[in-house]
Structures are given as structure tokens and as C-alpha cells.
A and B are shown apart, each in its own frame.
Chain A
Amino acid sequence: MTFAASRPYRRFMPFSLVDFLQALAAGILVGGAYALMCVGLGIIFGAMRVINFAQGDFLMLGMYAAFYLATGAGLSVFFGASAGPIVAAFLAGPIVFALGWLLHRFIVARVTGAGAAQIEGAGAYGQILVTLGISLVLQNGGLIVFGSAPTGIRTPLSRSSWELGEVLLNQGRCVSFVVAVGLAGAVYLFLGHTRQGKGLRAAADNSQAALYMGIDVDKAHRLAWSLGVGITAVAGGLLAGSQSFQPYTGFDFVIVMYTGVVLGGLGSILGAFWGGLVIGIVQQMSTLVLPYQLQNTAIFVVFLLIIFLRPQGMFGRLSERT
């Protein structure tokens, strides 16, 4: 019986170099998926200042959309078992984008942005409840439509790895990481260099002024919302090949997304990306020194530390108007 060559277990050191590197690699790879879903949330939060409790459920929808595209629509057959799920993940984005568009048009717009300016607190309360209501509908509707059995996309990538010395890099997660970074980069460019993107940022900074400048704030918000949920859905689709999920899975990721976005700095896409990445790294590397059970507590501790020491997060801006 032989194992892959590895350093012998040392009793005087809590972990070996390989353990360290392996945890770091895992953290980065997992962090890539987190980073993308945080970018999605970051767009919404940054542009609309809305706390979207349903973000995790859009993630879940992305997972299911990718699943049905890969298996039901035959993408895994057409593109192969390895590439199929990736293509399916991509295509999950536009599907959830469209759903998000409709939801915003008919429901969310009524309690956010320009439509809510007249209400006390600018509709902040209504927003929270509406997104909570949407979350309930998506989760439970998902149960009715998709069934309760946990499911996942089968792909050979989920259990193959590339070897970098003694460190094993999971292929499925590596590919997802590359896709996530690419997509996040594309979004960043979109927001920075296109007219719609700039309009989004203007509407985020100062919706009153943006209105006067002729920017359709309502449309900008709709774009932000739909883009945000769509991006997060792609992140879900990418995860669908690595883990199994059921209609209530989204719940598990809401915390990750929020801590990541706040960590990175509200209003900053770059920040959201790095925030998600940091969360992933902290989550996996904390297991080197802390009991595994406290993985997520470690996230919260880091989160709290950062917002106490630097409330604007890594890349955010502090703005207080007297």
C-alpha cells in the first residue's frame, strides 16, 4: 500500500509545508467561486444599496439551470463530460439574468431606487422584506419544481487534479477559477468602460444627480440587479460540478457573500472579488491552526476585525455626509 509521496506526519509541528500549500491552494480555488458570487452581490449592493436576501437562491437557480442544461439539454453529451458543465454554467447566467429582469421590473423596483425615494428610509425596510419574500418563494418553489433529492453534475474534473510538486490542484475547481476570474474581469471592464456601465456607477454614487444628468436610474438599477443575480448564478453553475445541492443550498452561501462584499468594501467590484477570495482562503487555511468545526467562525472573526479596523473594507470609500 503506497501513498502519494508526502512528508511524514510530524508531531512537533502542527502542519507541514505541504499541508500549508495544499490548504492555500484549496483556499484560492474555492475563493475563486466565492469571488465571482461576491462580484454579483457587489454589483447589486454597490449600485442599489439593497441587501438582497435572495442572492443565495439565485445561486441555487444557477446551479439547477446548469444542471438541466448539462444533463437534460445534453450539453454534457455535446461538449463532453468535462466541458459541458462549464458551458452550462455560462448559459445559466443569461437565464437567471432574464428572471432577475422580470423580478426587478415587477416587484423589486417598487421598493428600491427612484421608486422608493418617497418612502421613509428610502424603502430600505420594504426592500429587505421583498427580497426575503422572493427568497422564500424561490427556495420552496424550487422544492416543488426540482424535488428534494440532492443532485449534482457528474464530471470527471471533480476528482482529477494536476500536480504541482506535492500539491494537488483539483481540475474542476481550477477551470472554474479561471472562468470566474475571466468573467469578473469582463464585468469590471464593462462597468468601467461602457456607457451602461458608467451609468450604473453614476446611479450608484448619486442617484439624484444621475437622474438630473439624464441617466435612467431605474433602467440602471434593473441592469445592476439582473447582472448581479446572473453573475452569481454563473458562480453557482460552476459550483454545480464540484458539489451537490438541493433547493435550500443557497442559504449556506449568503453569509459568505455578504462577508466577502463588506470585507472588500461596499461599492467596489474589485473589492468584492478580493473579498470573496480572502474569505475562501481564510476558510480553508484556518483549518491548519483551528479545529475544523470553527472554519466559519474564523471567517466571522476576520470579518469583524476588518470592519472594525477599516470599516470601508479593503477597497471601499468612507463617505459620510454631514
Chain B
Amino acid sequence: MSKLTRRTVTRGLALSAGALAFPTIGRAQAKSVKIAMIVPLSGPWARQGQLERAAAEMALEDINGQGGIKALGGAKLELVVADAGDSTEKAKNAAQRLLSDQPDLAGGFGAWLSSFTLAVTEVTERAQLPWLTLSYSDAITNRGFKFVFQTSPTADHQAAETLPTALKLAEAATGKRPKTIGIIQDNTASPVSFAKPLRDGGLTKLGLTTVVDQIFTPPLSDATPLIEKVRSGKPDFLLLLTSAMPDCKLVLEKLDEFKLSHGKVPLVGNGAPFGSPELLKTIGPELLEGLLFSVANWPMKGQEEFIERYKKHTGEPFLTQDGLCGYGHTQILKAAIESAGTADKLKVAAAIRTMNLTSGPAAQCFPGPIKFDDKGRRVDVPMIFAQWQKSVPLTVYPTELALAKPFWPSV
């Protein structure tokens, strides 16, 4: 158990007792602006929510420590947190509760899992509350909503960016361009959204034939039949779209067991779970060394000092997408409030719509400028590739954002 957990437990127990005894805890400060965060804090995805929360709290410390919201005379930024729990119903209830309890929210972000985000944004849209999210399933920005802003590139875009770059890297390492591809993915909404454009002609455009195409329902019980298909299919290139760390572990270990790892089959993963500290703890550094994965957001060049601060603040071994987005979303909202000059949610939303941040603490957290189109999507965003090097996943591509150089794991 990390120091954080123990501290959280004792604090939590004390606060629980207090919360049960008194209806509201923490009277709002006289001059403060409130933003909301709805993430899973209990249930199977609790870990991700807790990471986002820790980083968001760090952002609060930074913002308030440096004078708060200057445009509002140094008003403090306050974060109101709700637990999205383990079901869409709980997520929706959390959103409705938050909105009912806090009528003067300026904006908010969450809810990590795409189906939770969908449920939450149905509420926030009707309340006209600007909402940021790192989820990227197609449905999120396909609904014609005006107050939802997706900081991750769309699945289409991710797919379009990932494959060509990955193929280029594979060709650079092995000397020949892959002709056949194998896809292994789970059937949650995000990988499905990612793979759809590929199957709808994206692969043929890249001159690739699919020889292995397997979709499983998570959680995976055993990866043997899956990897057996890879062994017999012999793709030149393998794309892994597993969105949960336990499944990543099973697949990667099975590849190793079948002697297909360490570059035997050039492989690229997609998604932050491929870079999680838990993966390191359960698989170990040797197997992970050289593993390449694409992700919507990962610590980049210029953030070194920030990374160190984060590690000290949270006790985590390294910074991941959840932390980066937790911090970044808070900063984006702060920037929007500053730009709007008011905590009025409509004006804050307008500020986000017209935003084009290329520098500052918010922009530093995301690759590419922070600019949203009329559907709430970010445009012209480079896809980041990270690689495990000496037990840390480091951004290796695009070069201007890289913290390390990519290498191909030797056979």
C-alpha cells in the first residue's frame, strides 16, 4: 500500500464520520469558482479516477498557489468531485447531483469510461455546462452537442495517425514494409471506434491484408487461442487494441510464451493501459522493454520538471495519461475562465469554443494546440507514440515532443 492510500484511508474515515454527522462539509469560500470532476472512484475503474483526481488536486494547488483566477481578482479555483461508481446509472446520478447541489459551476470534466461520459454529458449538455473529456468513442461527439469538448483526438483520427507511423517505424527497423496485419482488440466502444475506419478500407489503403482479426469480450480468461491464431496466421505486423491492463498483461505474456515477443512480430499497442505502472509491476521490465504504443496523450518534452513534481506529489513511479489529463483539463478550464473573465458557464463555454492555446500550463499538457471544432473535437493533433525504455514509458514520436529516441527491440 502506498503512502497515498494510507493517508487517504485515515483521512477518508474521519471525513466519512464527519459527512454522516453533518449534511454538508466545507462551506464554500466567499470568492471562489467551482469546477466539477466526475470520475470513477469506486468500482473496477477506481484506479484511473483516483489518478485523475490526484493530478487535478495538484493543478488546484498550482493555480491557487500562484494567485488563483486573476481575471476574477484572485478568486480561488475549487474542485467539486463526484464518484461515477461502477455503472452508467451511478454516473448519471453523480452528474445530476452535482448540478443540483452546485448551481454555479463554471465547467467540469470526466468520466473516463466512454459510457459514463455519455451518461454524464447528457446531463451537462442540458444544463449547458461546458464539459471536457479524454474519452473518445464515436458517440461522444456525434450527438450534435454544443457543450462537450473532447481533448483526445477522435478514434478515426487516432487510427489514421497510428497505422502509417507504426508501419514506417516497422519498416525502418526490419527493412521491409509489412504486407499483412493482425488485429487483436476488445469490444469496448473505444477500440471498436478505433478499428472501424481501418476495417472500412483504411487497411487496404495502406496495402495491408488482414490475416488475424480477433475481437474478444473483456475480461480475457486466457490468451492462448488468441495468440495461437497469431502463431498460425503469421502476420507481418500486430496491432493490439486492448483497453484494460489485465488483458494487456495476458496478451503480452502469451506472446512471449509463444516466442513471438521482442520484435519477432513488430507490434504496436494503442491506449494508455499499455503504459500503466501496474503493467510494469505485474509483467516486469524485461518483457516490456521496447514495447511501442500509441496514445492520445503522454508526457512530452518540456514537461520534465512537471513530471518530477507529479511523482513527488503523488508517489507514482511516472506520469500517465490519466494524470496528465486530470491536470490539463483543470488548467484548460482555468484558462477558459480567465479568458471569459467570468464564471458564467455559457461564457466559459464560448471561451472554450474560441480557444486556441499553444502555450501556457494547459497547452503544455496536450500535444498540438488546444482548439476545438464545432463538434467539440480537437483538430490537427499529432498522435503520440511512447516506448518502454528502462522501466519507464517515454514519448518517442513525434520527434519534437519526444523525451527519448525510439529503437527497435532486437530479435
Given contacts A158-B253, A292-B216, A293-B217, whether A1 and B47 have CB atoms under 8 Å apart is: no
Given contacts A4-B259, A150-B278, A154-B282, whether A293 and B225 have CB atoms under 8 Å apart is: no
CB-defined contacts of B42 to chain A, threshold 8 Å: 140, 143
A161→B231 CA distance, assembly (Å): 15
Instruction: Tell whether, in the assembled complex, residue B229 and residue A19 are in contact, meaning their CB atoms are under 8 Å apart.
Output: yes
Instruction: Tell whether, in the assembled complex, residue A149 and residue B215 are in contact, meaning their CB atoms are under 8 Å apart.
Output: no
CB-defined contacts of A146 to chain B, threshold 8 Å: 1
The residue in chain A whose Cβ has the minimal distance to the Cβ of B41 is: A148
The residue in chain B whose Cβ has the minimal distance to the Cβ of A246 is: B44
A243 adjacent to chain B (CB < 8 Å)? yes
The residue in chain B whose Cβ has the minimal distance to the Cβ of A253 is: B221
A67→B236 CA distance, assembly (Å): 38
B214 adjacent to chain A (CB < 8 Å)? yes
> How many whole Å from B286's CB to the nearest CB in chain A?
10
Instruction: Specify the main secondary structure of chain B where it touches its partner.
Output: helix
Interface size on B, residues (CB 8 A): 53
Q: Which of B217, B225, B246 contacts A22 (CB 8 A)?
A: B225
B17 adjacent to chain A (CB < 8 Å)? no
A194 adjacent to chain B (CB < 8 Å)? no
- Interface-centre pick from B187, B231, B253, B278 (highest chain A CB count, 10 A): B231
A124→B283 CA distance, assembly (Å): 44
Contact digits for B36-61, partner A, Cβ 8 Å, 1 yes 0 no: 00000011111100100000000000
A2→B411 CA distance, assembly (Å): 10
Instruction: Tell whether, in the assembled complex, residue B260 and residue A3 are in contact, meaning their CB atoms are under 8 Å apart.
Output: yes
Within 8 A of B (CB), among A145-196: 146-152, 154, 158-161, 168, 170, 173
Interface size on A, residues (CB 8 A): 53
> How many whole Å from B5's CB to the nearest CB in chain A?
5
Instruction: Tell whether, in the assembled complex, residue A19 and residue B232 are in contact, meaning their CB atoms are under 8 Å apart.
Output: yes
Instruction: Tell whether, in the assembled complex, residue B228 and residue A23 are in contact, meaning their CB atoms are under 8 Å apart.
Output: yes
A70→B32 CA distance, assembly (Å): 49
Contact digits for B50-88, partner A, Cβ 8 Å, 1 yes 0 no: 100000000000000000000000000000000000100
Which A residues fall within an 8 A CB radius of B?
1-4, 6-9, 16, 18-19, 22-23, 25-26, 29-30, 140, 143-144, 146-152, 154, 158-161, 168, 170, 173, 243-246, 248-249, 252, 283-285, 287-288, 291-296
Q: List 24 A-B contacts (CB under 8 A).
A: A4-B231, A6-B232, A9-B234, A19-B225, A19-B229, A23-B224, A26-B222, A26-B228, A143-B46, A147-B47, A148-B45, A149-B47, A159-B257, A161-B258, A168-B224, A170-B257, A243-B250, A244-B245, A244-B282, A284-B222, A284-B224, A291-B215, A292-B225, A295-B216
Given A1-B264, A30-B221, A150-B245, 16 more A-B residue pairs with CB atoms under 8 Å apart are: A3-B260, A6-B231, A6-B234, A9-B211, A9-B232, A9-B234, A22-B228, A26-B225, A147-B2, A149-B278, A160-B257, A244-B246, A244-B278, A291-B215, A292-B216, A293-B216
